[in-house]
Amino acid sequence: MNKFRIGFGYDVHQLKEGYDFWLGGIKLEHSKGAVGHSDADVLIHVICDALLGAANLRDIGYHYSDQDPEYKGIDSKLLLADVLKMIRENGYEIGNLDTTICLQLPKVNPHIDTMKTCLAEVMAIAEEDISIKATTTEKLGFVGRQEGVSAYCVALIYKND
């Protein structure tokens, strides 16, 4: 019998000039980048949170404190790989991920296939098990004013008993 669990992740990062913009494990060319203690990859952060939540392993901030200098500027793909190690040590595998990125600019759609390839490789899962969608906020709110980026993720994990 399979045991299924779901988890949810949400994250926001401010956008500012002079920062690199990492999203879904790849660097996007843009005049602004996300600000954070790590590389501020909002998509990877929500995936980590959703997976950790599904396995009842708390959240990304609990495991990788933004007060710890070890994680300053860290590539979020390394955090994701570590989260997958924790998930698998607890007997779980990923069923699928469904994500949404909220961003006015740059346009995300041209980069989705590359992101899926990158993330699938890091997590050792099939690209078909990763859904990445993008939306603007029709120029409303902090996303619409290009002050920040947000993302959401729902993760399904399972354990074979």
DSSP labels for 70-97? GGTT--HHHHHHHHHHHHHHTT-EEEEE
CATH of the domain at 7: 3.30.1330.50
Cα 52 versus chain centre, distance: 12
Residues making up the binding site = 11-13, 37-38, 45, 59-61, 135-138, 142, 145
pTM value > 0.95:
yes
Give 89-145 pLDDT, tens digit per residue: 999 999 999 999 999 999 999 999 999 999 999 999 999 999 999 999 999 999 999
> What are the helix (H) ranges across the chain?
42-54, 60-63, 76-89, 112-123, 141-144
Instruction: Specify the number of domains making up the chain.
Output: 1
Q: For residue 66, which amino acid is it? A: D
Cite the annotated binding site for a divalent metal cation by residue number.
Answer: 11, 13, 45
Residue type present at position 20: D
Question: What length is written for the chain?
Answer: 161
Predicted confidence (pLDDT) per residue in 43-83, tens digit: 999 999 999 999 999 999 999 998 999 899 999 999 999 99
3 state SS of 56: coil
